[in-house]
Amino acid sequence: GVDSLSNYAVEMLKNKPLIHVKGGLGFGISKKVEELLSGHPESQGIILDSPGGRIYEARELSDLVLLNSLDTYTLEGCYSACTTVFIAGNRRYLAKGANLAFHQYGHANEALNRYKNSAAGQQYDYDLAVKGVSTSLQLLFARCGPVAV
């Protein structure tokens, strides 16, 4: 089938060494960003304007952000799995009017929730999230269920 989150765009800004990711974090987005980084080693950051998407892709993007010491930005908003990438930023910038939305894992199809790698996956993201995130905010993340966004 077609990935419902494949409505993304990934591009290098013309006037700044920044990559702009817009749309869902669908399958293949981390490969596109990796290709762009390979062709533009001068990249200093990534703008994330995304409703979220596939956690696997978000983790791959997080690794790319960490590996390349990128700053992260959001101009419009970064939600759900996107925040895993945002938190990985060397420095993080939130534009006026933009929002972040964190929550625990869940699957749109409740019957599939028992198959997700929740404990290990959330520990991975938690280890990443403690990178400069206050304890009170970490506790708030932990209390937000999958539909709390």
Give 13-23 pLDDT, tens digit per residue.
999 999 999 99
What's the pLDDT band for 149 if we cut at 50, 70, 90? Answer: very low
H or E segment to which residue 50 belongs: none
The pLDDT score that the predictor gives to residue 42 is 96
Q: CA 107 to CA 52: how far, in whole Å?
A: 13
Greatest Cα-to-Cα distance within the chain, rounded to the nearest angstrom? 46
- Mean pLDDT, residues 50-69: 93
CA distances from 111 to 20, 81, 106, 116 (A): 34, 20, 10, 10
Give 70-125 pLDDT, tens digit per residue.
999 999 999 988 988 999 999 999 999 999 887 666 555 555 454 455 565 656 55
Q: Where are the alpha helices (DSSP H) in the chain?
A: 29-39, 55-67, 82-87, 118-129, 135-143
